Structure 1
Amino acid sequence: MSTFGTYSTAYSGMYTNQAALLATSTNLANVDTTGASKVQVTSADSSTTRSDGSTAVSGVTVASITRSRDIYLDSTYRTENADATYLSVKSGNLEYIDTLLSEYDTVTTDDDGNTVTTSGVEEVISDFFSAWETLSTTQSSNEDGHRVAVVTAARDLITRLTAIDEELQQVQADAVTAVEDGVDSLNDLAAQVAELNKQIVQAEAGGGEASYLRDQRDALLDEMSSLVNITVSEQSNGSVTVTLGGGTLVKGDKANTLAVEGTGATDDPLQVIWAASGDEADITSGSIAAYMEDADQTGYETIDASDLPYDFNTYATSSITMLRQTLNVLITTLALSINSLTTSGVDADGNTGLAFFTTIDDSEPLSITNIQVNPELVSDSDKVVTSTSSDNDDYSIASAICDLLSDTSLYENAGSSLSIINFYGAITTWLGTAGDTASSNYATQAALVTQLDYQRQAVFVISIDEEMSSMIKYQTAYAASARVMNTIDSMIESLLAVF
């Protein structure tokens, strides 16, 4: 190699190490920047081809300036993150339901000093039947007060159940709002990714470097993965294509928009659709999927006397809907059963018995959202039916109503006959088990996502110690190349002095 060739080699060493120092400086500047990826300079031999066809190494050159990212870890993280946020929502809602039911529980102390917790729903059911028991065994002189107590206990029962149902309805309404907000966020994130695609392609078209733009895009993609099940693929020009269940959400600098339709009701299901085509988007995980499921009211339906005993099952998509239907079946079955008894008897004045429970809106069927104690009984307790005759000692209707508490043919759960208390207990036990399972699954999934994030950060996170070590290495290499150049300068100066 000639003297001037050596000069060129030394210069290439200085240039390459200067570029490496610049990358190190960028890394150190972004050491506390959330989501910033480590930038690395990759060098390669620089060679020239001689006239005889042979190749000669003539120094070093900057082959590429790239971010330290593992696209496979990023992809896995986003897939598992979608599952984690899905489970987080499901677990959170089940935990809320459990808390909601617990708020109505009562805590007492038994004769041995032990703390006893009684379900609030079970308590009001027991109080209702206790009022009927008292009425069925009372003396006629005290009958008026006990009739009033029966009406009061019935109103308390309805108030307690409808209060829970209203809160559950609010949870479902909040789930619908969460889907709408989630889709709005997803559309906004998709638009930002499309814009970054455009900027990245422009920045890198002439050989430029756009690591900071790519970091911003990756942060957006991570956020999108918490909402829905996305798949990301990078194109040769540096842009990414984002798909959702086979549909294209982002391609190049274009983003497709999603929209929300429906309320979640059985006759108006909640759907996320592609705005352009109207086709339903295939959302299987992420928080939006979880909220869509919890907002689904499929499984909630009214029942009438011909449906009794109503065979209840726990197959509803939404645990919230399942509990709402539990309460609906519980009170509607009880109301229809009591009505069939009271309308077959006579009141205290010998008049034909009235239905104990009636609808609030006569145009709609009896249900937990449309039930009340017959207003005529509230205004005149003598109309409460206790017997089949005018005989003062006849409390056959009241006794038959008392027997409903232990009647195991009144309710069915997946084919099993249950009493009213056991029916409610079976469903709440199922909910408790489902909540524990969801909580455990979420904890496991969250730990997996955290582990994956640690692995990702091990690849791209910026370490001060590592960068300081690299800086010393590049400074030393730069100084060595500069010294070579100085030496060559001296040699050339000596040669010129000879001539």
Structure 2
Amino acid sequence: MGSTFGGYSIALTGMRVNQAALTVTSHNIANVDTAGYSRQAIALTETVNDPAGSNSAGTGATVAEVKRARSQLLDNTYRQQNTTVEYWSSKSGTLDYLQEILDEFAISDASDEDASADGLQQTIQNFFDSWDNLASDPSSVSTRQSVVENAASLLDTLSQIDEQLQSLQADALTAAGDIVDEINGIAGQISALNLLIAKAEANSGEAGDLRDQRDDLLDQLSAYTNFSSQEAGSGMVAVFIGGVALVSGTKANSLSISGDGSTANPLQVTWTNTQTTAKIAGGSLLACLEEADQSGFSAISDTDNYNFTATATSSISTLRQGLNDLITTIAGKINSLHSAGTDLEGNTGLDFFVVVDAGQPLSISNIQVNPEIAANSNKLAAGSTDAAGDNTVANAISSLLDEKIFQYNGLSQDLTGFYQSIIAWVGTAGSNATNAYDVYSTLATQADNQRLSISSASLDEEMSNMIKYQTAYSAASRVLSTIDNLIGDLIEELG
């Protein structure tokens, strides 16, 4: 049977543990709206005088631990889904911008109010219409000048589109470098928190607030790249990318990025200390690396046998290559017909399209109307002879619009069909990316909601706990007061 004075100690432990519980509850209430905060719960245990002896009377209660409410399984599930979400978010955003750049996604009749007056499709149509008009009046100066002007307009439109695509690709390159810097920064912060957590937990319970900070950093990291993590007994967490440690204890490794994405200088992410390639398999970093890859774009040496396929890693390079195929194929066919004709001055026709930089092959970014023709429209070869009214060349060039001079995935197509296929690919790829983003975003949200249902603090629940602990504290203090009165009465009786 416990002594009267032992009751003092028991009541005191009751006050202390409930005061500690009120402190934890107060902390939860203060952070009820703090992003990333995990609700903390206090665990109490009873104490006994001498568990191994004959007198095992209870001596009160003590705080066993203060622990976060957190599910590692749901954390890992959310991060895996978030990595995929951010990848598709970046891809979807890029494809949406490609659609905006193209300015149209289907063939529109010029009379349609929604048709773009300066869209690429209309510009192509205007160019071939000008050759058709030239065939009707081969000697007309104004008609000849119209051909030159429409050709320049077509090249200008394509050049502007290509410049925007190149700028978008440069942005992806810059973004990849920024993300690598962010990853390195996060790795350094995690390693620093590892040290603080290990020290804090060496002589006491769980360092919940520090662990929340670390988990928030891991959530951020999941947006950038794929990784796995493993916690050691010391409380430190190791983070791996492709099996290589980004963080190991208090040591953080770093990533480096090099190259410009070209075939000659490919873009690479490597481990700084070993210079080995890092295996980036997800997240916004992978999306940026893919879009910055320029290897899917190249000059076309043989347009007659070129088969365009939308299989490049970069959707930007794919679109650039498609438009490059379009203009270089047109240029090659027109040059072949025009150079076999005769201009108004009786001279053999020149190449209608020529390069700007003689050291580089003809391409969407290296093409112009022959300066001699631009300066003197008489050098346009409308016919095969200089006879008045000869329009054979102009007719042949005008007819190219309907000839199947392109190949898309092995299927022969005319210019209109080929351009429609390019537009359809951009639209389909964009729709697929958006759908993938929506699906994985839903899965990530579900996982996040599940973990929040466990870890988030509820104001109603904490207020209920506060009343419970407050009542228990008051009860323990009343026990202490009662014992004090009893002892006072005893002393008074004994005189």
TM-score, normalization: structure 2?
0.94
Q: Following superposition of structure 1 onto structure 2, how do residues 376-395 of structure 1 map, counting pairs within 5 Å?
A: 376-395=372-391
User: 2:433 corresponds to which residue?
Assistant: 438
Which among 199, 207, 211 is matched to residue 210 of structure 1? 207
User: 2:456 corresponds to which residue?
Assistant: 461
Measure, in 2, the Cα distance between the counterparts of 1:327 and 1:51: 86
User: 1:483 corresponds to which residue?
Assistant: 478
One-letter code aligned to 2:128? F
5+ long unaligned stretches in structure 2:
none
Which among 326, 329, 339 is matched to residue 325 of structure 2? 329
User: 2:33 corresponds to which residue?
Assistant: 32
2:283 is the alignment partner of 1:286 = yes
Which among 407, 420, 423 is matched to residue 425 of structure 1? 420
User: 1:235 corresponds to which residue?
Assistant: 232
Measure, in 1, the Cα distance between the counterparts of 2:391 and 2:440: 59
Tell me by how many angstroms 1:369 deviates.
Answer: 0.7
2:414 is the alignment partner of 1:413 = no
Measure, in 2, the Cα distance between the counterparts of 1:109 and 1:413: 26
Tell me by how many angstroms 1:435 deviates.
Answer: 0.8
User: 2:68 corresponds to which residue?
Assistant: 67
**Is the contact made by 1:105 and 1:120 (CA closer than 8 Å) also made in structure 2?**
no
User: 1:312 corresponds to which residue?
Assistant: 308
- 1:420/1:109 CA distance change after superposition, 3 Å: closer
Tell me by how many angstroms 1:57 deviates.
Answer: 3.9
Q: Greater CA deviation, 424-433 or 485-494?
A: 485-494
Q: What whole-Å deviation, never above 9, does each CA across 1:339-395 have from its counterpart, x for those lacking one?
A: 111122221111121100000011111000110000000111111112222222322
Measure, in 2, the Cα distance between the counterparts of 1:50 and 1:99: 77
Measure, in 1, the Cα distance between the counterparts of 2:26 and 2:292: 51
**Is the contact made by 1:345 and 1:389 (CA closer than 8 Å) also made in structure 2?**
yes
Measure, in 2, the Cα distance between the counterparts of 1:425 and 1:484: 86
User: 2:251 corresponds to which residue?
Assistant: 254
Tell me by how many angstroms 1:53 deviates.
Answer: 6.6
Tell me by how many angstroms 1:65 deviates.
Answer: 0.7
Measure, in 2, the Cα distance between the counterparts of 1:123 and 1:391: 32
2:166 is the alignment partner of 1:169 = yes
5+ long unaligned stretches in structure 1:
none
SS across alignment from 2:452: helix
Q: What whole-Å deviation, never above 9, does each CA across 1:387-412 have from its counterpart, x for those lacking one?
A: 2222223221111111111101x100
Q: What whole-Å deviation, never above 9, does each CA across 1:185-244 have from its counterpart, x for those lacking one?
A: 111111111111111111221115522222221221111111111222222111111111
Q: What whole-Å deviation, never above 9, does each CA across 1:54-89 have from its counterpart, x for those lacking one?
A: 855433221111111111111111111111111111
Measure, in 1, the Cα distance between the counterparts of 2:57 and 2:83: 53
Measure, in 2, the Cα distance between the counterparts of 1:326 and 1:56: 86
Q: Greater CA deviation, 4-13 or 308-317?
A: 4-13
- 1:396/1:53 CA distance change after superposition, 3 Å: farther
One-letter code aligned to 1:283? I
**Is the contact made by 1:105 and 1:117 (CA closer than 8 Å) also made in structure 2?**
no
**Once superposed, what is the RMSD of the aligned Cα atoms?**
2.1
SS across alignment from 2:305: coil
2:189 is the alignment partner of 1:192 = yes
Measure, in 2, the Cα distance between the counterparts of 1:467 and 1:360: 73
One-letter code aligned to 1:101? L
2:133 is the alignment partner of 1:134 = yes
SS across alignment from 1:233: strand
Measure, in 2, the Cα distance between the counterparts of 1:212 and 1:51: 37
Q: What is the percentage of aligned positions where both structures have the same residue? A: 44
SS across alignment from 1:387: coil
Tell me by how many angstroms 1:183 deviates.
Answer: 0.7
2:334 is the alignment partner of 1:338 = yes
Q: What whole-Å deviation, never above 9, does each CA across 1:15-35 have from its counterpart, x for those lacking one?
A: 211111111111122223332
Measure, in 2, the Cα distance between the counterparts of 1:449 and 1:7: 53
Measure, in 2, the Cα distance between the counterparts of 1:250 and 1:139: 74
Kindly tell me the number of residue pairs found equivalent between the two proteins: 493
**Is the contact made by 1:43 and 1:63 (CA closer than 8 Å) also made in structure 2?**
yes
Tell me by how many angstroms 1:167 deviates.
Answer: 0.2
**Is the contact made by 1:104 and 1:121 (CA closer than 8 Å) also made in structure 2?**
no
**Is the contact made by 2:84 and 2:282 (CA closer than 8 Å) also made in structure 1?**
yes
Tell me by how many angstroms 1:303 deviates.
Answer: 0.8
Q: What whole-Å deviation, never above 9, does each CA across 1:82-106 have from its counterpart, x for those lacking one?
A: 1111111111111111111127999
User: 1:269 corresponds to which residue?
Assistant: 266
Measure, in 2, the Cα distance between the counterparts of 1:165 and 1:324: 7
2:24 is the alignment partner of 1:23 = yes
**Is the contact made by 2:327 and 2:364 (CA closer than 8 Å) also made in structure 1?**
yes
- 1:109/1:129 CA distance change after superposition, 3 Å: closer
Tell me by how many angstroms 1:485 deviates.
Answer: 2.5
Q: RCO greater where, 1 or 2, for CA within 8 Å and sep 6 or more?
A: 2
**Is the contact made by 2:310 and 2:318 (CA closer than 8 Å) also made in structure 1?**
yes
Measure, in 1, the Cα distance between the counterparts of 2:377 and 2:110: 35
SS across alignment from 2:189: helix
Tell me by how many angstroms 1:46 deviates.
Answer: 2.0
Tell me by how many angstroms 1:495 deviates.
Answer: 4.6
One-letter code aligned to 1:455? Q
Tell me by how many angstroms 1:12 deviates.
Answer: 2.3
**Is the contact made by 1:106 and 1:119 (CA closer than 8 Å) also made in structure 2?**
no
User: 1:80 corresponds to which residue?
Assistant: 81
2:298 is the alignment partner of 1:301 = yes
- 1:17/1:488 CA distance change after superposition, 3 Å: same
